[in-house]
Amino acid sequence: MADLSGGERVKVQLLTILVSASNLLILDEPTNYLDLPAVQALEDYLVGYPGTVLFVAHDQVFRDHVATRTLVLTNRQLRDPARTAQGVPASDLPRLQFEYDQAMLAPELDTQRLQELRQKIAALKATL
């Protein structure tokens, strides 16, 4: 490890986290220090990841490719842009996200159902 560059060390640390037996990943700026092929590989991995991923990223393209739900923290307030000013869901997105969350909590993890829900969420987000 001592001979690796800073970026290579980050890749090794990230790989260690990704191959662990976790069903929840919390990532802070995971694209920092990664080259484009590594970012694309990370996107592909996270899109197919059957667990929950909570991440903070300033990389808009990465967020658009990976996130199924986005929350915004502004002036110490957390808001959900998928809801209108009146708090009424703007679409089926909140229902699908809730269903996804419930599927994640089910005793028997149905990875195929999770993939279907992720695809529906991504398709719906693309139309908003």
Q: SS3 of 122, please? A: helix
pLDDT value, residue 124: 78
Count of other CB atoms within 10 angstroms of residue 21: 5
Contact of 25 with 49, CB cutoff 8 Å: yes
Distance CA 11, CA 7 (A): 6
pLDDT value, residue 128: 63
Mean pLDDT in runs of 10 for the chain (128 residues)? 79 84 88 89 90 91 91 81 55 82 82 88 77
pLDDT value, residue 88: 44
